[in-house]
Amino acid sequence: MPELFLDGRPLTVTHGTSVAAALALGADGCSRTSVSGQRRAPLCGMGICQECRVTIDGQRRLACQTLCRDGMHVQTRP
Amino acid sequence: MNETTDLLIIGAGPAGMSAALAAASRGAHIVLLDDNPLPGGQIWRDGPQASLPAAARRLREQLQACANVRCHTGTRVIASVADKTLLVENAERGWQINYERLILCTGARELLLPFPGWTLPGVTGAGGLQALIKAGLPVRDERLVIAGSGPLLLASAATARHQGAHVLRVAEQASRAAVAGFAAQLPRWPGKLLQAFALFDRHYRTASHVLEALGQERLEGVRLLQQGRIVELACDRLACGFGLIPNTQLGQALGCELAEKALAVDAWQATTRQDHYAAGECTGVGGSELALVEGAIAGHAAVGDTAAAQRLWPRRERWQGFARTLNQAFALDPRLKSLSRVDTLGCRCEDVPYGDLIGHVSWREAKLASRCGMGACQGRVCGAALEYLFDWTPPTPRPPFSPARIETLLGLEETPPT
C-alpha cells in the first residue's frame, strides 16, 4: 500500500487510489487556492475542469488523473 | 523517441477500445491514447471502489492480447504540430506521434452550470462524484444530494449508496411527464429497462433543481426548488451535473466540422477531414452501447474493412434511437438560465463573477473584458455554461490544448520544417 505525503503529513492509501481521493482521506479534500483566495476541491473528476491541480514532486498535475505512489509529495498550497 | 503508427486512437473508453479491437484484426499497427491512468473511459473507470462489468474486463483483456495495439495511458494531446502529427505528453516526457489515420473517441463531459455556492468544496459534478468515488473517495455515512439531469444521476446515486453514503435526494430537473415518457420507451431496449429498475431510488424527484449550495468554508446544505416548493437539506456533498456534452475541441482543432454541437460523421464514422474518423459520445451523446458499435464501425472502416463496418449499421441505428429518446426527455428547463446572482462566479479559473459577463454580445468580447475562459480549463467549463446561458459560440481551441510543461513545448524546436 503506497505511503505518500499530503502537505507534509504522511498517509497510507489502498493501491489504485487517486490523489483526488487521497486529499479527502488525509485532509479536508481541498486541492488548491483560487486567484481570489478561495479554497477549491475536485469538481469534474475526469480531467476537464482543472480544479484539482496540485503540485506533485514539484510538477503541476491533476489529482483526479494521478494514482498515489509510494513516496509521493503532494502540495495543495503555494 | 517520436512514434509512427498506422492508426492513432484518441480516447480509451468504450468507443476507443472497440475501435482498436476492430482495427487490430487486420494487423494494422495501432496506438491507443488516454489521459486517464487506466483505460475504460468514464463509464468503465476502474479503481479501488469500482466494480467493472464483465464486458468491460473482457474487452480490456482482448486488447491486451493484441500485440499490434500499444496503449499509452496518462497521456494527453498538447498540439497538432504538422500534418498528421500530434505532440503528446505524459508525466515523464513529451513526444510526437505521426499517424496515417486517426479515430477521435474523446467522449463527453458534464455540463456544469453556475449557481450560488457552486465553488464550495463539497460540490462536484454528478458523474464527477461517481468518478471520484470509484477512484477511492470516501463517502461512508455522508449525506448526499444529487441534482441536475439525466440517467447519470441515478447511476451516481447507486455508486454512492453502494459505498455507504446516505442519498437524501435525487433532484431531476425534467418534468414528471418527460421522465415517464422516457421510461415508457425503455422496453424497446430491454437491457436499458433492466438497468433502470436496478437504479430506481425512492428519493428521486422530477421537476426539481438546485437553487443554491449553502455554507461558508465548505458545503453545509443545499436549497432546492422541488416541484414548486423551496426545500432546504443539510448535507455533506452536492453532486450536480446537467447532462453530458460532446468533447469536440480536439476534433475542431484538427479541422473536423461540427453538426449539432458534436463532431459530424458519415455512415463510416468518417469526419469531414480525410482519414480522420470519430466515434462515441464526441459525435453525440448516446451511452456506451452506441459508443461500442460506433467504435467498431470506425475501426473497421479505418483499416478498409467496409463489409465488416456495414454489417454493424443496423445495430447502430437501434442505439441511435435510444440516444434520440434520451436527449429529448432530458431537455433542460429554461429556468436553469437564471440560477446565478451577480456575485456567483461564472468562470472558476479566473474567478470572474456572473455580473461581469452580463451585457456582452459574444464570448470573445466577454473574454477580452473579463478574462473568463482564459484560465487552466481554457473555457471547457465556463465556455459550455455560457453557450447554454447566453447562446455564445465558444471559439475553436488553440494549442496548447491542455496545460503543458515547457520542456514538452521546447521539443517542437526539433521538428523538421514541412
Across the interface, of A21, A28, A38, the residue whose CB is closest to B137 is A21
Summarize chain B as % helix, strand, coil (round to 5): 35, 25, 40
Contacts of residue A42 in chain B, CB cutoff 8 Å? 124, 128, 132
CA distance A77 to chain B (A): 15
Is the distance from CB of B13 to CB of B280 less than 8 angstroms?
Answer: yes
Give the residue from B52, B110, B132, B281 with the most A CB atoms within 10 Å of its CB, the best one to mutate.
B132
**Cβ pair A61:B217 closer than 8 A:** no
Of A36, A45, A67, the CB nearest to B37: A67
State the ipTM, two decimals: 0.98
Domains in chain B, ordered, with CATH? 3-109+245-326 (3.50.50.60), 112-242 (3.50.50.60), 340-418 (no CATH)
DSSP per-residue letters across B334-385: GGGGG---TTSEEETTTTEEGGGTTT-SSHHHHHHHH-TT-STTTTTTHHHH
- When pLDDT is averaged across residues A67-74 and rounded to a whole number, the result is 98
Write out the three cell numbers for A11. Answer: 498517509
Give the pLDDT of residue A41. 98
Q: Are A55 and B354 in contact (CB under 8 A)?
A: no
Residues B349, B379 contacting (CB under 8 angstroms): no
Position B414 scores a pLDDT of 61
Q: Report how far residue B179's alpha carbon sits from residue B108's, in angstroms, rounded to the nearest whole number.
A: 22
**Cell numbers representing residue B92 in the block:** 515523464
> Considering only CA atoms, which of A26, A16, A40 is closest in space to residue A73?
A26
Q: Does A17 touch chain B (CB under 8 A)?
A: yes
Distance CA B57, CA B40 (A): 9
What CATH number does residue A34 fall under?
3.10.20.30
> Is the CB of B51 inside 8 Å of chain A's CB atoms?
no
What distance in Å separates the CA atoms of residue B292 and residue A60, rounded to the nearest whole number?
Answer: 34
Pairwise CB contact (< 8 Å): A45 & B125: yes
pLDDT given for residue A43 in this prediction: 98
Instruction: Map grid coordinates 467522449 to a residue.
Output: B107
CA distance B220 to B313: 50
What is the strand order of the sheet A53-56 is part of? A9-12, A3-6, A73-75, A53-56, A59-62
> Taking 80 as the threshold, does the pLDDT of residue A9 lie above it?
yes
Residue type, position B113, single letter: L
Note whether B281 and B261 are within 8 A (CB).
Answer: no
Question: Which residue, chain included where needed, has cell 520544417?
Answer: B417
Q: Which of B43, B137, B245, B250 best tests the A interface by mutation, with the highest count of A CBs <10 A?
A: B137
Whether A18 and B47 lie within 8 Å, measured CB to CB: yes
Query: C-alpha cell of B17?
Result: 477500445
Q: How far from B416 is each of B81, B85, B411, CA to CA, in Å? A: 10, 12, 11
Q: Which helix (H) or strand (E) holds B324?
A: helix B313-329
Query: What's the confidence (pLDDT) of residue B396?
Result: 79
Assess A76–B contact: CB distance below 8 Å, yes or no.
no
Phi-psi region of A77 (alpha: psi -120 to 50; beta: other; left: phi over 0): beta
In A, minimum Cα distance to B379 occurs at: A49
- H or E segment and range at residue B193: helix B190-199
Cis, bond preceding B400 (omega within 30 deg of 0): yes
> Does B306 lie at the interface with A, CB-CB under 8 angstroms?
no
SS3 B327: helix
Q: CA-based angle B335:B338:B342, to the nearest 5?
A: 175
Tally the domains of chain A.
1
Question: Which pLDDT value is given to residue B416?
Answer: 55
Q: Is A42's CB within 8 Å of B124's CB?
A: yes
pLDDT tens, residue order, chain B (418 aa): 799 999 999 999 999 999 999 999 999 999 999 999 999 999 999 999 998 999 999 999 999 999 999 999 999 999 999 999 999 999 999 999 999 999 999 999 999 999 999 999 999 999 999 999 999 999 999 999 999 999 999 999 999 999 999 999 999 999 999 998 898 888 888 878 777 766 778 899 999 999 999 999 999 999 999 999 999 999 999 999 999 999 999 999 999 999 999 999 999 999 999 999 999 999 999 999 999 999 999 999 999 999 999 999 999 999 999 999 998 999 999 999 999 999 999 999 999 999 999 999 999 999 999 999 999 999 999 999 999 999 998 877 889 999 999 999 987 776 555 5
Q: Give the residue from A5, A76, A4 showing the smallest Cα distance to A40.
A: A76
Quickly tell me which residue has 459550455 as its cell: B384
Average pLDDT over residues A13-41: 97
pLDDT at B117: 98
Rounded-to-integer distance, Cα B278 and Cα A41, Å: 33
How many CB atoms sit inside 10 A of residue B360's CB? Answer: 18
Q: Give the whole-angstrom CA distance, residue B238 versus residue B157.
A: 11
Question: In angstroms, what CA-CA distances link B336 with B132, B149, B210?
Answer: 25, 11, 9
Tracing cell 436549497 back to the chain, one arrives at: B223
Cβ separation B124–A45 shorter than 8 A:
yes
| DSSP states of B290-307 | HHHHHHHHHHHHHTT-HH
Expressed as residue numbers, the domain containing A67 is 3-75
The pLDDT, as a whole number, for residue B202 is 86
Interior angle at CA A10, CA A7 and CA A15, nearest 5: 110
Per-residue cell: A44: 469534474
